[in-house]
Chain A
Amino acid sequence: MVISEVTVVETTGGNKGIVQIFAVIIFMVSVLTLSGSGCAPGPTGTHVEANPEDISRIKKVGLFVKVEKGFAVRLQYVSNAEEVFLANLICYSLAARSGARLAGASATAAGRIGTAIGAAAAVAGEISPDKQATRALSAEAAKMNSAHAIGSALVDKLQNANVFPTVAIVQSQSRSTAQEGGIDTLFVLTVRRWGLRPPLDSKYGTGDKAMAQLELDMNHKLVSSTTEKILWERDELYLDSKSYSLGDFKHKEGLLGSRMEHLLQLVCDRTANEVHRMR
């Protein structure tokens, strides 16, 4: 396909065509580089199965919580930064194809259009409904939007469910700190992302009437503090079984916090089920 483009350029654009060939090559390389540059976590599920002997030896667990991405609303199919990314991709794509087919002037024009649309998309991203909703809910989300808040909520639940003999919150993953506190195993919980998403069986809505459910994407890891061996690792996506309108989340005080509490209870229950099976 690219070769046929090159032939057209050379017969219609003369010297400018050669410049366009390089433009197309640079574009192709940048796109292919971009396509491999993303860093996404692996699929949900168990990555490291536990050895029952290792689990039965656990005496005191240090709970360490990390938050990679804080609260965000993701109700639109393409949200925030992605709009800019896609708009730019379309524009560069248009510019490259137009430029390859026509002379340099047309490529420049398409490039300018691309830049203008890209800039407009950047502005649109700033005022996107998702970003506005995230801001509107930031005060409500703040109560749970930190490693400390999530850790504090979880430690009590883990103690009450008798998942491990003893659980204490730790501030770092350091081996020496853990050993000083008599901790033999670290339970590292990484919140990859949490926030509102459209319920699976609903259409993408707009405004306060858009339906939303709480999601919590989490990585769970049990790590021996003496050997640093990963004893068990699992990725899980927790979806709230109840969904509400975005307006409910904005206007009903405490709703977001109570649904997050519900999901954290689910985290505790499922961890307990996994650990009890391993014993």
Chain B
Amino acid sequence: MKLKRATMGLIVVSAFHLLMCAGCASRQVKVALKYAPTGTALLSNLQPAVVSLQVVDQRPKEQRDNIGVQRNTAFGTRHAAVVSKTREVQVVHNALKNELERSGHRILNPGEGRAEIVVSVALTQFFFDSKAAGDHIELVASIRADVVVSAGIGNVPQVLFTVESAYRDFVQLGLIRPALFGLWGMLSSVTQKSDIEKALNGALAEFVRLFCLEPKLRQVFI
């Protein structure tokens, strides 16, 4: 009798929680994104230049509202949408500006002076997701953009290339909560906000690195 009551209770609680999870599309987790430069400046060995930097958003409309999915770590159901506290184009602009300035180049403000080099970045992807992998959760974030660089008289378009970064990391599945709270613990375990931030900031750092190492960009600066 007691077993029957306990089992029924568990089923009711689980069903309620699953219903709660099913309606999580409106939930949001807000992440803080910032470029953290490491090591030597990546473009410091090039001739210093005055640069105009523009970043525009060309992602599909459905990807502009959120930049990822926070999932239940055990079953992979969507728990909340990931949104950035700062607009993604601004995040990418700030990151590239930071690295260019660190390397000794001057970035013009909008409407200021004449640039020797014009860098136009069209953001086409900025996304995070996670996936179960054994007793770990795999975190993957990716940033992709098409870049046009112009230089010389009239800033004639010179080179066109695509930069695509992917960041991957693993975190422990987090079994303490399931161990203490059983099935309910599993249902309520979600990807941590700090892990999502780490993955997206990792992808941002990789994006800046790949952008700066692109030979087509470097040849314009020389």
Query: A residues bordering B, Cβ < 8 Å?
Result: 1-2, 27-28, 31-32, 34-38, 40-45, 49, 74, 77-79, 81-82, 85-86, 89-90, 93-94, 96-98, 101-103, 105-106, 109, 197, 200-201, 204, 217, 235-239, 241, 270, 273-274, 276-277
**Which residues of B176-214 have CB atoms within 8 Å of chain A's CB atoms?**
176, 178-183, 185-186, 202, 205-206, 210, 213-214
Q: Which of B93-101, B103-111, B113-121, B131-139 binds A? A: B131-139
Q: Which DSSP category, helix, strand, loop or mixed, fits chain B's interface?
A: mixed
Q: How far is the CA of A79 from the CA of B132 in the complex (A)?
A: 8
**How many whole Å from A104's CB to the nearest CB in chain B?**
11
One of B135, B168, B183 near A237 (C-beta < 8 A): B168
**How many whole Å from B7's CB to the nearest CB in chain A?**
8
CB pair B131 A197 closer than 8 Å: yes
Number of interface residues of B (CB under 8 A): 55
**How many whole Å from A174's CB to the nearest CB in chain B?**
31
Q: How far is the CA of A86 from the CA of B206 in the complex (A)?
A: 33
How many residue pairs, one in A and one in B, have C-beta atoms under 8 Å apart? 137
CB pair A276 B169 closer than 8 Å: no
**How many whole Å from B47's CB to the nearest CB in chain A?**
16
B39 at interface, CB cutoff 8 A: yes
With known contacts A32-B175, A35-B175, A238-B166, A77–B131 Cβ distance under 8 A: yes
CB-CB under 8 A from B144, the residues of chain A are 241
CB pair A270 B210 closer than 8 Å: yes
CB-CB under 8 A from A74, the residues of chain B are 131
**How many whole Å from B222's CB to the nearest CB in chain A?**
13
Q: How far is the CA of A241 from the CA of B164 in the complex (A)?
A: 8
CB-CB under 8 A from A96, the residues of chain B are 182
Please, which residue of chain A has its CB at the minimum distance from the CB of B210?
Answer: A270
Please, which residue of chain B has its CB at the minimum distance from the CB of A105?
Answer: B3
CB pair B135 A38 closer than 8 Å: yes
**How many whole Å from B19's CB to the nearest CB in chain A?**
18
CB pair A200 B135 closer than 8 Å: no
Q: How far is the CA of A34 from the CA of B10 in the complex (A)?
A: 25
In the complex, the 4 A-B pairs of residues with the closest C-beta atoms, listed nearest first: A77-B76, A40-B170, A43-B169, A273-B213
B153 at interface, CB cutoff 8 A: no
CB pair B214 A273 closer than 8 Å: yes
CB pair A106 B76 closer than 8 Å: no
**How many whole Å from A38's CB to the nearest CB in chain B?**
4
Q: How far is the CA of A43 from the CA of B136 in the complex (A)?
A: 13
